[in-house]
A and B are shown apart, each in its own frame.
Chain A
Amino acid sequence: MTVRFTSKKPSRRAFLKGTLASTAGVMAGAGAANAAGPDPLITEKQDWAMGTGDGVDETPYGLPIQFEGDVIRRNVEWLTADTISSINFSPIHALDGTITPQGCAFERHHSGAIELRKEDFRLMINGLVDTPLVFTYEDLERFPRVNKTFFLECAANTGMEWAGAQLNGAQFTHGMIHNMEYSGVSLRTLLEEAGVKPEGKWVYVEGADASSNGRSIPIEKALDDCIIAFKANGEALRKEHGYPVRLVVPGWEGNMWVKWVRRIEVKEIAVESREETSKYTDTLEDGTARKWTWVMDAKSVVTSPSPQSPIKHGHGPLVITGLAWSGRGAITRVDVSKDGGKTWETARLANPGQPMALTRFYLDTEWNGEEMYLQSRAMDETGYVQPTKNMLREIRGENSVYHNNCIQTWWVKADGEAENVEVS
């Protein structure tokens, strides 16, 4: 017999109101050590310790347990005209480590997530090559393979925050990002198979979807570290992430990571497509705009505590944690401030920073109810230091839309709640 048990699902709203006691009746934050009497979760036999759980045939491909139901992608309706050419956000406030689970890794489409079978997939390489080629999916799997981990950050991540503090949560302010371990073929291998002519200075890459998302990439980058990827975090790409094949462009803005990639054309000049003229150009204060702002600069954010991840455990030891990344190379250091940037402590990197990949940091500290203005500041191996929003605005104004890598401030209040703020 299989004994099933259910318990009350956690409610974020109830936590925020401070009204939720745990299922065992112990006040959240008190902990077993301060319990008035013996803990019935220990002293009473529980169903799960007596009966059995699910059989191995229950879940051929599993989803997270129901209690994690709030660790999901979220949409912000007012950001875009519809949900087809739109964005959603990874729940980075609730994750740890660096690998983003594919099922909640953010999406950005310009004409929706298309369904493209491996059998129907074709990749063309044409233009300034010795031999224009067509590959099937099976062809791609026969080339020598590479396997590397990189972050993909949307150029617009944090873009809503240019003019001020808008959205209340790390998921919304910093969640247009994911970090996956990719397997695939080096783009260089495929280009060499076709034979790039000396006058080939650019590649133009486009997807199989209606938006096509065509972008121009300089040949140096195309021959350096780009990957034609077909696996992410060990398995096939998710449909919404480009199944069966996408382009990986390490360190560069997510828009260039063309999904459902179908054609790569070697060219003498850039196409200056819609996605590199109208969009993904960054308007400066004088009305001129930067184009070809490809690399994502060093950036970080405290993921907990944060507005969606308040301190609920009372005073005492507190883990401050977050993510740092840089498109220019490896993260070498992250500093954390609790007083809005007056003083800084250097945090601990969970693992040495990897080039152009998310890096997890921790600051193990003590909190006794004092208000904090929490900030993090990333440094990368080139010596670049993550700037404040005001430093960016002084150079760019407020209408760049893209590439906002400013230092984020969370105001942690005496009750442990946190809020997105700007400070002087």
Chain B
Amino acid sequence: SPALAEKYGIGRPALPEEVAAWDHDISPDGTGLPVGSGSVEDGEAIFSENCAICHGEFAEGVDNWPKLAGGDGTLADKDPLKTVGSYWPYLSTVYDYVRRSMPFGAAQTMSDDDVYAITAYILYSNYIVEDDFVLSNENFLDVEMPNAGGFIVDDRETAEASFWTEPCMKDCKEGEVKITMRATVLNVTPEEEGAAEE
């Protein structure tokens, strides 16, 4: 067991300030949430200034940048739109990811209250809360995410048990084998570069 393992005495104890500086992750049960709050109204202004250039004024996405809102009820469609509202299971992930890694190119520049406000605004953009909503560490877990129940743990070993089999070697298909789809019809592969162009 790990407790009995040999120790080498390498490294040094981490100081509380150091752990506090780096340990920012937030779990679905709210562990790690900082004290603070932010309103939809404040979030709209902060989002407009810091986020809308890529994600759109209404979190609907610009060009190829991620859409953060919309797509309700599309997960079983031919082309599902997976957003915070339609797909993400936990609000903790929104707060955690925005605070740690957004805005893209200027991550870790927003205050905890700003992140609460942006999170509130993203909820509002997804019609999950009203426009007077204020999100805080105290009511955080009250927010119900629409797709919270939409995930199952990897079940390949049972759902795909038929892939463990003795494979066919001869006469494995009836009739003629025909081409049903060709990549060159789409023609979206980059032209080769390198020696030929130099």
- Please, which residues of chain B bring their CB within 8 A of the CB of A24? none
Please name the residue on chain B nearest to A212 by beta carbon: B100
Contact A78–B10 (Cβ < 8 Å): no
Q: On chain B, which size bracket covers the interface?
A: 35 or more
The secondary-structure label for the interface of chain B is loop
Take A167-B188, A167-B189, A269-B27 as given contacts and tell me if A339 and B151 are in contact as well, using a CB distance cutoff of 8 Å: no
Please name the residue on chain B nearest to A340 by beta carbon: B177
Binds A, one of B35-43, B74-82, B111-119, B125-133: B74-82
Q: Does A265 contact B (CB under 8 A)?
A: yes
Contact B97–A165 (Cβ < 8 Å): no
CA distance A420 to B97 in the complex (A): 38
- Please, which residues of chain A bring their CB within 8 A of the CB of B151? 277, 281, 288-291
CB 8 Å contact bits of A259-299 with B (1 = contact, 0 = none) = 00011010101111110011001010111111111110100
Take A131-B13, A212-B101, A272-B92 as given contacts and tell me if A395 and B154 are in contact as well, using a CB distance cutoff of 8 Å: no
CB 8 Å contact bits of B154-198 with A (1 = contact, 0 = none) = 111001101111111111110111111111101011101111101
CA distance A132 to B19 in the complex (A): 8
- 6 shortest A-B CB distances, which residue pairs? A287-B75, A287-B76, A340-B177, A69-B195, A420-B183, A70-B194
CA distance A270 to B89 in the complex (A): 13
Contact A293–B156 (Cβ < 8 Å): yes
Contact A265–B23 (Cβ < 8 Å): yes
- Please, which residues of chain B bring their CB within 8 A of the CB of A395? 159-160
- Tell me, rounded to whole Å, the shortest Cβ–Cβ distance linking B129 to chain A: 20
Q: Does A343 contact B (CB under 8 A)?
A: yes
Contact B196–A271 (Cβ < 8 Å): no
- Please, which residues of chain A bring their CB within 8 A of the CB of B64? 80-81
CB 8 Å contact bits of A81-94 with B (1 = contact, 0 = none) = 10011000000000
Given contact pairs A76-B188, A343-B171, a sample of 10 additional A-B residue pairs in the complex whose CB atoms are under 8 Å apart: A130-B3, A134-B18, A135-B10, A167-B188, A272-B93, A278-B88, A291-B151, A297-B163, A398-B78, A423-B179
- Say which residue of A195, A283, A342, A383 sits within 8 Å of B82 (CB atoms): A283
Contact A292–B154 (Cβ < 8 Å): yes
CA distance A210 to B102 in the complex (A): 8
Q: Does A379 contact B (CB under 8 A)?
A: yes
Q: Does A325 contact B (CB under 8 A)?
A: no
Q: Does A96 contact B (CB under 8 A)?
A: no
Take A70-B194, A111-B107 as given contacts and tell me if A165 and B178 are in contact as well, using a CB distance cutoff of 8 Å: no
- Please, which residues of chain B bring their CB within 8 A of the CB of A302? none
Please name the residue on chain A nearest to B62 by beta carbon: A81
CA distance A84 to B154 in the complex (A): 30
- Tell me, rounded to whole Å, the shortest Cβ–Cβ distance linking B118 to chain A: 14
- Please, which residues of chain B bring their CB within 8 A of the CB of A85? 104
Take A278-B93, A286-B76, A424-B178 as given contacts and tell me if A265 and B156 are in contact as well, using a CB distance cutoff of 8 Å: no
CA distance A382 to B164 in the complex (A): 8
A residues contacting the other copy or chain, number (CB 8 A)? 112
Contact A142–B8 (Cβ < 8 Å): yes
CA distance A52 to B14 in the complex (A): 59
Contact B177–A290 (Cβ < 8 Å): no
CA distance A342 to B176 in the complex (A): 9
Please name the residue on chain A nearest to B151 by beta carbon: A291
Please name the residue on chain B nearest to A391 by beta carbon: B163
Within 127-175 of A, Cβ neighbours of B (below 8 Å) are at 127, 130-135, 139, 142-143, 164-169, 172
- Say which residue of A14, A70, A277, A291 sits within 8 Å of B154 (CB atoms): A291
- Please, which residues of chain A bring their CB within 8 A of the CB of B92? 272
Binds B, one of A4-12, A233-241, A355-363: A4-12
Please name the residue on chain B nearest to A141 by beta carbon: B10
Please name the residue on chain A nearest to B191 by beta carbon: A13
Contact B179–A343 (Cβ < 8 Å): no
- Say which residue of A70, A76, A287 sits within 8 Å of B150 (CB atoms): A287
**Considering residues B27, B64, B169, which has the most beta carbons from chain A within 10 angstroms of its beta carbon?**
B27
- Please, which residues of chain A bring their CB within 8 A of the CB of B153? 290-292
Contact B196–A70 (Cβ < 8 Å): yes
Please name the residue on chain A nearest to B86 by beta carbon: A287
Q: Does A74 contact B (CB under 8 A)?
A: yes
Q: Does B63 contact A (CB under 8 A)?
A: yes
- Please, which residues of chain A bring their CB within 8 A of the CB of B63? 81
